[in-house]
Amino acid sequence: RADAPDYRSILSISDEAARAQALNEHLSTRSYVRGYSLSQADVDAFRQLSAPPADPQLFHVARWFRHIEALLGSPCGKGQHCRLQASKGRRVQPQWSPPAGTQPCRLHLYNSLTRNKCLLHFL
């Protein structure tokens, strides 16, 4: 958006109440400070807050704060390091094994030519 202020100009506001109000207006039309997913801009803004704002008028900031806190795991102070949750890649199902103390499955196959029953054991 051309009319939206840059997030750095919002974070540079020295008065905490004015900064929270500007951030609330910025977040009124978006879920994240910048872009469509968690970014360094969100972490930078999150570091400036120690808790969600108490003012009920700042509900966009409160919503955003709780969301970012859930993604990061805990609040990050100005001197603390915030770690972004990186994707671990594709999830893989673990190898299946029968419960302990049970017999492995047996597969009964019938040969159509001889009609003899073959019993195979699979581990």
Q: Is the residue at 30 inside a domain?
A: yes
Give a yes or no: residue 101 inside a domain: no
The answer to whether residue 68 sits within a structural domain is yes
**DSSP one-letter code for 110:** E
Q: Report yes or no on 36 lying in a domain.
A: yes
Residue 57 in this model has a pLDDT that exceeds 90: yes
Q: Is the pLDDT of residue 44 over 60?
A: yes
SS3 11: helix
Helical pair 40-47 and 59-72, crossing angle rounded to 10 deg: 110
Asked if the structure places residue 123 within a domain, the reply is no
pLDDT of residue 1: 46
59 within a domain of the structure (yes/no): yes
Measured N-to-C along each axis, helices 16-27 and 59-72 cross at an angle, to the nearest 10 degrees, of 80
What's the number of domains the chain is made of?
A: 1
pLDDT tens, position by position, 69-86: 988 876 565 555 555 555
In a domain, 11, yes or no: yes
Question: What confidence tier does 118 reach under pLDDT thresholds 50, 70, 90?
Answer: low
* Residue span of the structural domain in which 20 resides: 7-72
Whether 104 is covered by a domain: the verdict is: no
Q: What is the average per-residue pLDDT within 1-29?
A: 83
- Of 70, 23, 69, 28, nearest to 45 by C-alpha is 23
